[in-house]
Chain A
Amino acid sequence: MTGASSGVGGGSALLELRDVGKDYGTVVALDGITTTVRAGEVTCVLGDNGAGKSTLIKILAGVHRPDRGEMLLDGAQVSFGAPREALDAGIATVYQDLAMIPLMAIWRNFFLGAEPTRGWGPFRRFDAGRARGVTRAALAEMGIDIRDPAQPVGTLSGGERQSVAIARAVHFGARVLILDEPTSALGVKQAGVVLRYVAQARDRGVGVVLITHNPHHAYPVGDRFLVLNRGRSLGSFAKADVSRDELTGLMAGGAELEQLAHEIERPHSRAD
């Protein structure tokens, strides 16, 4: 429960997890997870591979129900049976590489599953003009400069794609935005661009959950850090209570990393 209740950005608690756990058969995938997501704040979930990050996303996104603990939205207990329910409650998830259809135009992707229509009965049709205009405006509002909304998403860079996906979630009224490893496949510059849009979404009052294994990406933009290891929480910290190095150390399991560093360095020093 370390620091879970200390407010940072001063926003109201949108989403709260209390002692949440999930099992797959006899394997405990996640246990005793407690954290808060506030409006206008970025909560970072850090952990190495197999730490339970994806299980946590699936619980938040409504793919799985937790086996233990409670999830509170605006202070009221909730339980999502399907991704659609979470989406309707204002929790949007941007998955790592599955956010967009590469061969489709940006504006078609932007409104996929929520296409505006006009006309009635058999003449009800996809209002393409409006979709194009709104896409251009929504991207411009987030400061995303796209040459042409009609170009296929596949022609965008990885960073641009993540940015469009974030703009889409914000446009459709996401209050909680879950980002699954948005920077993992990106170069340094591209990752920086994506983090800027994460900050943009935060500044517009969205509660962001940023899932990553990179503390260098998480630290500058995060307000609160939840560190996972093998399905358990190593603590939930406000930014003031933890430094970047402490965070990195925690993630790798401190002592283990130092040991590893020695092992890697030794043959080098001998060879010289």
Chain B
Amino acid sequence: MQSPVFRSARGVANWMDPASTLGIMAVAVALLMIGGHFDLSAGVLTGTTALTVGIVAVEFRQNLWIGIGVALLVALAVGFFNGWLVTRTGLPSFIITLGTFLMLQGLNVGLTKLFTDTVTVGGIDDVPGYAAAEWIFASRLSIAGTEFRVAILWWLLFTALATWVLLRTRFGNWVFATGGDEVAARNVGVPARRTTITLFMTTATAAWFVGTTLAVRLTSVQANTGTGQELIYIVAAVIGGCLLTGGFGSAIGASLGALIFGMTQLGIPYLHWDADWFYFFLGAMLLLAVLANRLVRRYAEAARR
């Protein structure tokens, strides 16, 4: 039943690849979940940013870096809008980001059709600035004779950075506090509103990074890119130990969640199983993780009185 390819260096490079882009998103989504919120628009935003890169560069004949810059501004605006609306209205972020998710899904297809008359933006590799962008977002590194994509490196870097921010900065302390008990946090002077908005903008920035990586790597982007991925980010974060109720979790855990995900996604074909088993496995992992997380919370709140 075991596949020797899976454990070879080439195999590792294979299953690390889907884990890396997923992992970058899962880490950002984990920060947001620790801060007590969800972002359902994160998946479709990777598509929005990828399409923006393509449309600005190809259809408006700009340098690719201008496209990448515009995409970043779009992402930051969406993130700010989500965060601002959530903190202003006090409505569940689940509903608010469901709204932005649907709006962006419509905009992605609508605007792509408007500018290209098709549902694809292509030819990104013919645009000036592509070589430098490819070097940063989509180059391949050779380690021990095996080619790894650079996204894996970025993923490790972002995981380390997020871990440091969570555990060793004031902002990290505020994230845990805002997610743990927002009223209490505000009572002791934590800028909870600013923390929440920053977290939404962080998730959006991660979506921009992944969207740009997709656009540069694939050189053509479908209008439905990223749709449906948002739940997978949340699943990875929960498998990694984030509580659905906020206030607890880690960036490394979310990365491990993404890793398990990548291994499963490629492991099942290696075993010549039907790909449908992947979703069964994913669902089972999610349930197990939620049950385990509940025990953690119980332990922490057991001796309240």
Binding site for B on A (CB under 8 A): 83-84, 87, 93, 95, 98-104, 108, 111-115, 117, 124-126, 128, 152, 154-158, 185-186
CA distance A103 to B294 in the complex (A): 12
Write the B262-279 contact mask toward A (1 if CB under 8 angstroms, else 0): 000000000000000000
Q: Are A155 and B188 in contact (CB under 8 A)?
A: no
CA distance A154 to B41 in the complex (A): 33
Chain A CB within 8 A of B26 CB: no
Q: Across the interface, which residues of B come within 8 angstroms of A111, CB to CB?
A: 173
Q: Are A101 and B185 in contact (CB under 8 A)?
A: yes
Q: Are B177 and A126 in contact (CB under 8 A)?
A: no
Other-chain contact of B177, A95, A99, A101 (Cβ < 8 Å): A101
Q: Which of A100, A101, A102, A114 is the most central at the interface, judged by chain B CB atoms within 10 Å of its CB? A: A101
Other-chain contact of A113, B172, B176, B181, B188 (Cβ < 8 Å): B188
Q: Are A126 and B172 in contact (CB under 8 A)?
A: yes
Q: If A98-B183, A101-B185, A103-B247 touch, does A113 touch B302 (CB 8 Å cutoff)? A: no
Q: Are A112 and B185 in contact (CB under 8 A)?
A: yes
Other-chain contact of A98, B167, B168, B187 (Cβ < 8 Å): B187
Expressed in whole angstroms, the minimum distance between the Cβ of B202 and any Cβ of chain A is 15
Q: Which residue of A lies closest to B170 (CB)?
A: A115
CA distance A222 to B282 in the complex (A): 60
Q: Are A113 and B189 in contact (CB under 8 A)?
A: yes
Q: Which residue of A lies closest to B188 (CB)?
A: A113
B window 200-217: CB within 8 A of A: none
7 sampled A-B residue pairs with Cβ under 8 A = A83-B187, A84-B189, A103-B180, A103-B301, A112-B173, A152-B300, A155-B302
Q: If A84-B189, A112-B177, A126-B173 touch, does A101 touch B184 (CB 8 Å cutoff)? A: yes
Expressed in whole angstroms, the minimum distance between the Cβ of B154 and any Cβ of chain A is 18
Other-chain contact of A115, B173, B180, B302 (Cβ < 8 Å): B173
Q: If A125-B168, A157-B305 touch, does A114 touch B189 (CB 8 Å cutoff)? A: yes
CA distance A113 to B172 in the complex (A): 11
Q: Across the interface, which residues of A come within 8 angstroms of B243, CB to CB?
A: 103
Q: Which of B168, B172, B173 is the most central at the interface, judged by chain A CB atoms within 10 Å of its CB? A: B173
Q: Are B173 and A108 in contact (CB under 8 A)?
A: yes
Given contacts A95-B187, A99-B187, 7 further A-B contacts (CB under 8 A): A98-B187, A101-B177, A102-B181, A102-B304, A103-B247, A111-B173, A158-B304
Q: Across the interface, which residues of B come within 8 angstroms of A158, CB to CB?
A: 304-305
Q: Across the interface, which residues of A come within 8 angstroms of B176, CB to CB?
A: 101, 103-104, 108
Q: Are B303 and A156 in contact (CB under 8 A)?
A: yes
Q: Are A154 and B302 in contact (CB under 8 A)?
A: yes
Other-chain contact of A103, B164, B170, B187, B300 (Cβ < 8 Å): B300
Q: Are A126 and B169 in contact (CB under 8 A)?
A: yes
Q: Across the interface, which residues of A come within 8 angstroms of B304, CB to CB?
A: 102, 154, 157-158
Q: Across the interface, which residues of A come within 8 angstroms of B188, CB to CB?
A: 112-114
Q: Across the interface, which residues of B come within 8 angstroms of A117, CB to CB?
A: 170
CA distance A98 to B297 in the complex (A): 18
Q: Are A101 and B180 in contact (CB under 8 A)?
A: yes
Q: Which of B164, B170, B172 is the most central at the interface, judged by chain A CB atoms within 10 Å of its CB? A: B170
Q: Across the interface, which residues of A come within 8 angstroms of B169, CB to CB?
A: 124-126
Q: Across the interface, which residues of A come within 8 angstroms of B173, CB to CB?
A: 104, 108, 111-112, 115, 126
